[in-house]
Structures are given as C-alpha cells and as structure tokens.
Amino acid sequence: MSLTDEIAAAHEGELNPAALVGEFRRTSVFVPVVDDSLMSAEMSGIRWLYAFTDEEALSHFAATRGAETSTEVEYVRAAGARLLDVVIPAVKGPMGVAVNVGSEQPMLFPPVSGIVPDSAAVDLAEPTPVGDVPVQPAPGGVA
C-alpha cells in the first residue's frame, strides 16, 4: 500500500505501525520551506516538522495559511527516511513529523524509538518518558 493508503487504514482503525513507518521511510514527501528553513511548529514541547504526501495536500495547507496557489509555497522533496534518520537527529530537542497537517487524515510520527534513531528518541533519551505515544492519526483532523 502507498503511504496515503496506510494513513487511511490507520484512520479506519486498521493501524499497522511497522507498515506505516516503513512506507513513510520509502516515500518522497513535500516539506515546505520558510526563510531557508524547513517549516515546523512546536506543540507540547515537541517540534513537529511538516511534510505532505502530495502537491494537493500541500496546496490545501498553503491555502489555509493564506497562499493563493501552491506555487507560492517553497518546498523541498525528501525521502521520509532522510527526515527521520538525518534531519531529526540534527535538530536540538525532540522533533517528530506531522504529515498532511490540516487535511482530513493527518498523521503524526513522534520522536520515539522505532521511528527515529535511538539518539533522538524521547522515550530513550529522557529519564521520564514524555509518554508512550504510538504513531497515530492527529486528533480532530489537525496536527
């Protein structure tokens, strides 16, 4: 199944964490860029890197932020594995990936072991884990 199919299955209650993470790692995603930095936001002490499965999802997100077309949004394409294995460990502090923010089926990939390298995993790096946060659909359709 494609990443969007895996996300849809998770939203339907058929979550297969290994398949979902594996498909994210294999998929090239769109990451918006603002002021020469990858776009992210902080929530509950975790920085969430925005990524989108296709131009349509990115365009929808851009429209909610005031852009008239997706061409107004700068972005880079990156393999999910590169985000998880290279970008996240390079950032100071905990970081996860929020996929398709603002869509009907967003998905969170939190900074926990099994998703990010152990050196960046909050459940291994902190004496008291932030929480046992599995890969999950974002609440209320918004990450």
pLDDT score recorded for residue 131: 41
**Segment 40-58, tens digit of pLDDT:** 999 989 999 999 999 999 9
End-to-end CA distance of the chain: 23
Q: Indicate the residue type of 21.
A: V
Contact in structure between 72 and 62 (CB atoms under 8 Å): yes
Beta partners for residue 102, in sequence order = none
Tell me the H-state helices in 1-143.
Answer: 3-11, 17-26, 55-64, 80-82, 88-90, 122-125
Q: How confident is the model at residue 63 (pLDDT cuts 50, 70, 90)?
A: confident
pLDDT score recorded for residue 105: 95
Instruction: State the average pLDDT for the chain.
Output: 86
Q: Where are the domains of the chain?
A: 3-138
Contact in structure between 124 and 113 (CB atoms under 8 Å): yes
Q: How confident is the model at residue 64 (pLDDT cuts 50, 70, 90)?
A: confident
DSSP letters, 15-36, are: --HHHHHHHHHHSEEEEEEETT
- Looking at per-residue pLDDT, the higher value among 118 and 132 belongs to 118
